[in-house]
């Protein structure tokens, strides 16, 4: 048996992963079959199976990789906007606006999330748990870390930083995220800014020293 050159094999594998991501974003979890992945990659289902014997494991790896990328981007957002905050209201509003940037920068990811959210009862519970831990919960932990530093400087009165991070996300960016259907139908800037401003005001009322 003639072995394939490693470079070709690696590129073939990357092509399959890219195809799975595209189909997952377009069709959702249950319709991202081995056959659909192969058609998108321009290869055969047998080739997909050779690289990824378990299709669900392939989909999960795509989802986790995508979620980790977004969580890392949000960690960078939190760091850059809270590192040297001076005006609390302006700083938190800027953070809220920047927190929404991944909706545009990672459009394929949020298309996947819309599908996965609609199909969540069909997904293995372990897959849902890993997704939440790698994506949303990791982003919240990173935000909590930065909020602790802001509180240490006396700008906020926070006893539970994890809870404060969750409340910030719910009060500030989540209104825009929900009304825009995770970026699928972007809001006018004035509406988005108003929602963020209202959320920031509520957050500050909760955690003002």
Long-range contacts of 44-49 (CB under 8 A, 24+ apart): 47/12, 47/16, 48/16
pTM greater than the 0.85 cutoff: yes
CB distance 59 to 29 below 8 Å: yes
For residue 7, the model assigns a pLDDT of 60
CB distance 120 to 128 below 8 Å: yes
CB distance 75 to 139 below 8 Å: yes
Would the pLDDT of 61 be above 60? yes
Task: Give SS3 for 166.
Answer: helix
Q: What is the mean pLDDT of the chain?
A: 94
Q: What is the pLDDT of residues 127-146, one digit of tens each?
A: 999 999 999 999 999 999 99
For residue 3, the model assigns a pLDDT of 55
Would the pLDDT of 1 be above 50? no
Q: What is the pLDDT of residues 92-140, one digit of tens each?
A: 999 999 999 999 999 999 999 999 999 999 999 999 999 999 999 999 9
For residue 172, the model assigns a pLDDT of 98
Average pLDDT over residues 73-83: 96
Q: How far apart are CA 14 and CA 152, in angstroms?
A: 45
Average pLDDT over residues 194-206: 98
For residue 28, the model assigns a pLDDT of 96
């Amino acid at each position: 048996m003639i072995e394939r050159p490693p470079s070709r094999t690696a590129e073939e594998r990357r092509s399959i992963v890219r195809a799975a991501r595209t189909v997952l974003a377009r069709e959702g979890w249950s319709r991202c079959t081995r056959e659909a992945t192969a058609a998108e990659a321009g290869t055969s289902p047998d080739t997909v199976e050779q690289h990824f014997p378990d299709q669900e494991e392939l989909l999960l790896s795509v989802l986790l990789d995508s979620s980790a990328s977004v969580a890392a981007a949000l960690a960078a957002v939190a760091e850059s906007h809270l590192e040297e905050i001076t005006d609390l209201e302006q700083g938190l509003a800027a953070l809220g606006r920047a927190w929404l940037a991944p909706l545009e920068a990672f459009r394929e990811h949020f298309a996947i999330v819309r599908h996965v959210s609609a199909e969540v009862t069909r997904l293995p519970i372990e897959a849902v748990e890993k997704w939440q831990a790698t994506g949303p919960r990791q982003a919240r932990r990173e935000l909590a870390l930065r909020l602790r530093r802001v509180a240490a400087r006396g700008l906020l009165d926070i006893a539970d930083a994890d809870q404060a991070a969750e409340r910030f996300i719910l009060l500030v960016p989540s209104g825009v995220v929900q009304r825009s259907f995770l970026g699928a139908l972007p809001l006018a800037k004035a509406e988005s800014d108003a929602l963020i401003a209202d959320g920031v005001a509520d957050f500050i009322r909760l955690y003002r020293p």
